[in-house]
Structure 1
Amino acid sequence: MKRITFLLMIIMSVSCAQDKKPILGETAFQKKLNSEFKDATTSPLKAKDLRTFEGLDFFVFDSAFVVKAKLKLTPDTEFFKMKTTTSRVSEERVFGVLTFELKGKQFELNVYQGKEMMTTKGYEDYLFLPFLDDTNGDATYGGGRYIDLRIPEGDSIEIDFNTAYNPYCVYNVKYSCPIVPRQNYVAIKVEAGVKAFKKD
């Protein structure tokens, strides 16, 4: 009897191991994001989408989309109410202006600091970089994408567009997502980061 029970336990453990598929992704960022999306406790996906989810669609990593930006601080800016996809507003301020070159062109983007984040443990130095580009509405979500940054020690900061991700409201309308300001437009195709979400 003990032998049969032992054999059953081995068969069950092998079966579970086969069911558990590896996390997809070719970079640490892609694997981390896919892991969060696969986990029902952290995923923004609707239940029906979560059941069939295998991995997000990413552009192939391209080091040309990793740039060093000059950060010009704007210490006197006041907080304003940034519109979101719902009636909620997000209190943000322009923390600084990022200047950088990408694909032979010069760009300037505002980087934001949220009032709520400043008092959230672990996010005190968090910066929010929302942007629009020429892939929106085609290869990527029409409303633009986000990049997470941290306050640097000096006056320069690395922007990795390969870590650009979609607002959560792309996956589920219950989320309230800040609307990307029109001035944060990168006038080229930023073929890096997360692509548009294709629903079944």
Structure 2
Amino acid sequence: MKKFFILMVGLLLTSCASQSKTALISEIQKFQKDLNAEFTNPKKTPLRGDNFTKFTEHPFFPANLKYRVSAKLTKTENAVPFEIETSSGRTKPYQEYGKARFILDGQELTLTIYQSLGLMKQAGYEDYLFLLFRDATNEIETYGGGKYMDLKIPKGDTIILDFNKSYHPLCAYNAYDYSCPIVPAENFLPVRIEAGVMYEDVYHD
């Protein structure tokens, strides 16, 4: 445990040193701006009716680089495709890509990262990875069903998890038109992740 902790602290320091704090905060702000733009665009928004007309912008936790972690990624060998249950009761095909291990608030945590077998067949999504997780903010400041994060296959055996760029599944805003993968129990984190999109009932179904 001690050696792993030292390794992860070293990875985190190396990662943060490679980019200035200002640049990293700008990336988070761009994510927030793009997400708001998507929800205010009538051709892209998942919102319907009054939920759309009342929407102005998402509430976000303050950007905090504490929640941008460098994780040790162990790729899953001979991954077996499986069906993940969704909010509508249907299933979608995925496969496990690997395990991401990291340190947050002194705790060693692990999250499983997946690949969507449907997206893998589409041009431009060959290196797309999908992370879904729950944490202790769910049902309080964030959606009860958890949050998502989009990632890409890294070149090495480390991967950056920036929880500031985590977002709610579309079914959190429109359960009628969207069917969202349910977070597996193995990705329940016993900590508060005070980062990314917050939840506000006033413009949700």
Interval of TM-score (by shorter of Structure 1 and Structure 2): 0.7 to 0.9
**1:135 paired residue among 134, 137, 141:** 137
For residues 36 and 105 of structure 1, the distance between their equivalents in structure 2, rounded to whole angstroms, comes to 35
Map Cα deviations across residues 2-46 of structure 1 (whole Å, 9 max, x no partner): xxxxxxxxxxxxxxxxxxxxxxxx701000000000001110111
For residues 136 and 87 of structure 1, the distance between their equivalents in structure 2, rounded to whole angstroms, comes to 21
Contact 1:78 1:93 survives alignment (8 Å): yes
What is the match of residue 181 of structure 1? Answer: 184
Query: Match of 2:82, as an amino acid?
Result: F
For residues 173 and 119 of structure 2, the distance between their equivalents in structure 1, rounded to whole angstroms, comes to 23
> What is the TM-score of this pair, normalised by structure 2?
0.83
Q: Which has the higher helix share?
A: 2
Identity %: 42
Map Cα deviations across residues 50-78 of structure 1 (whole Å, 9 max, x no partner): 11111011100000000000110002120
Equivalent pairs, count: 176
Q: In the alignment, is residue 193 of structure 1 matched against residue 196 of structure 2?
A: yes
What is the match of residue 151 of structure 1? Answer: 153
Deviation at 1:88, TM superposition (A): 2.3
Secondary structure, counterpart of 1:183 in structure 2: helix
Q: What does residue range 1-200 of structure 1 map to in structure 2 within 5 Å?
A: 27-173=29-175, 174-200=177-203
Question: Where do 5+ consecutive residues of structure 2 fail to align?
Answer: 1-27
Secondary structure, counterpart of 1:28 in structure 2: helix
Map Cα deviations across residues 64-117 of structure 1 (whole Å, 9 max, x no partner): 000000110002120100000113211011100000111211101100001111
User: For structure 1, which segment, 116-125 or 126-135, has the greater mean C-alpha deviation from structure 2 after superposition?
Assistant: 116-125
For residues 199 and 107 of structure 2, the distance between their equivalents in structure 1, rounded to whole angstroms, comes to 25
Query: Match of 2:172, as an amino acid?
Result: V
Please list every run of at least 4 consecutive aligned residues from structure 1 whose deviation after the TM superposition is greater than 6 angstroms. Answer: none
User: For structure 1, which segment, 85-94 or 146-155, has the greater mean C-alpha deviation from structure 2 after superposition?
Assistant: 85-94
Which entry has the higher C-alpha Rg, 1 or 2?
1
Contact 1:171 1:197 survives alignment (8 Å): no
RMSD, aligned α-carbons: 1.3
For residues 142 and 61 of structure 2, the distance between their equivalents in structure 1, rounded to whole angstroms, comes to 10
For residues 71 and 155 of structure 1, the distance between their equivalents in structure 2, rounded to whole angstroms, comes to 5
Question: Where do 5+ consecutive residues of structure 1 fail to align?
Answer: 1-25
